[in-house]
Amino acid sequence: MPAGEPARRTLVLGGARSGKSAHAEGLVAAEDVSYLATSRQDPSDAEWTERIAAHVARRPAAWRTVEAGDPEVLVQALRTATEHGPTLLVDDLATWLTGVLDDASAWDRDPAAMRAVDAHCDALAAAVVECAARLVLVSAEVGLGIVPATRSGRLFRDRLGALNARLAEDCDAVLLLVAGVPLTLR
């Protein structure tokens, strides 16, 4: 990558409330952006609705938002992006994976359900590699804390950690946000 040019693929990692989303948004603030929102709306969860609203309010009005909570929508958006199209900002992969696990009813680690989860993760990883547009991915870094007490917590931590590591292999830049401070890993 030539000096001064932004990375073609960037992975921004961080813990809860680390500033990862705001930092990722800042990386592309001056660009034409399609924001791929992976969160699923839940009208019965007022706190979640407030969090989504805060993210929406922070985005520039010119950005387009694509609701990409459905795993196929995200993969298709990455695969069909063009080199001269808008930059894609995916926020975030932890909520995307939660939806994949929910859709597959995989929380009990049923082998067939886990194969379905693996297929979605494989499709996402391939789409990241195929994506012709500039791409910024946001994901939670969940491997720095204690071992979760629940089976589902351990499943999520393990699966997201593996997905993050897999995607980091194909990204030109990898950043970790700690207490709002970006650390360049690559």
Are 120 and 100 within 8 A, CB to CB?
A: yes
Task: Give me the sheet containing 87-91, strands edge to edge.
Answer: 64-67, 33-37, 87-91, 135-140, 9-14, 173-178, 181-184
23 is catalytic: no
Are 62 and 9 within 8 A, CB to CB?
A: no
CB atoms within 10 A of CB 35: 24
Q: Which of 23, 55, 84, 120 is catalytic?
A: 55
- The DSSP bridge partners found for residue 176 are 13, 183
- Which residues are part of the catalytic machinery? 55
